[in-house]
């Protein structure tokens, strides 16, 4: 089955770190660009990062320098290392496949609170 499964979310204190994972299955992971997108409760979608098939990375200003996207093709896995977390980073985090985001995972919830 073609799917993406996120994990690694949880409760973290402001200033803390968290690493999210996204396990891909059912397709050739190495052939696709990948994204992380987040959504705060009751709010809209916000793009967080992207990584190309060659390992090139892209970020919006809101997370640049704090978040790092990476991939491990041998493990069919995508990662998001989040440092210096803030309350406003609290959201459901989704991974999505390719430039059109044609496949999404179910999300993993990150809560930043003391």
Partner 1 sequence: SYELTQPPSVSVSPGQTASITCSGDKLGDKYACWYQQKPGQSPVLVIYLDSKRPSGIPERFSGSNSGNTATLTISGTQGMDEADYYCQAWDSSTVVFGGGTKLTVL
Q: Which residue ranges make up the site for partner 1 (CB under 8 A)?
A: 35, 37, 44-47, 50, 58-61, 94, 96, 99-102, 104-107
Structure tokens at 35: 């994204």
Q: In angstroms, give the least distance from the CB of 100 to partner 1.
A: 4
Query: Closer CB to partner 1, residue 1 or residue 114?
Result: 1
Coil, helix or strand for 113? coil
CB of 74 to partner 1, least distance (A): 26
Residue 24 CB-density burial (10 A; 0-12 exposed, 13-18 middle, 19+ buried): buried
Residue number, 37 or 80, with CB nearest to partner 1? 37
Between 54 and 74, CB nearer to partner 1? 54
To partner 1, the closest distance from the beta carbon of 70 in angstroms equals 18
DSSP labels for 8-30? --EEE-TT--EEEEEEEESS-GG
Whichever of 42 and 74 has its CB closer to partner 1, that residue is: 42
């Amino acid at each position: 089955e073609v799917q993406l499964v996120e994990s690694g979310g949880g409760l973290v204190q402001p200033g803390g770190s968290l690493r999210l994972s996204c396990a891909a299955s059912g397709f050739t992971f190495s052939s696709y660009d990948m994204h992380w997108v987040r959504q705060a409760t009751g709010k809209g979608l916000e793009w967080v990062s992207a990584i190309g098939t060659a390992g090139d990375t892209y970020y919006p200003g809101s997370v640049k320098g704090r978040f790092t996207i990476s991939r491990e093709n041998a493990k069919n896995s995508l990662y998001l290392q989040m440092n210096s977390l803030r309350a406003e980073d609290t959201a459901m985090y989704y991974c999505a496949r390719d430039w059109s985001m044609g496949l999404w995972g179910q999300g993993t919830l990150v809560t930043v609170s003391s």
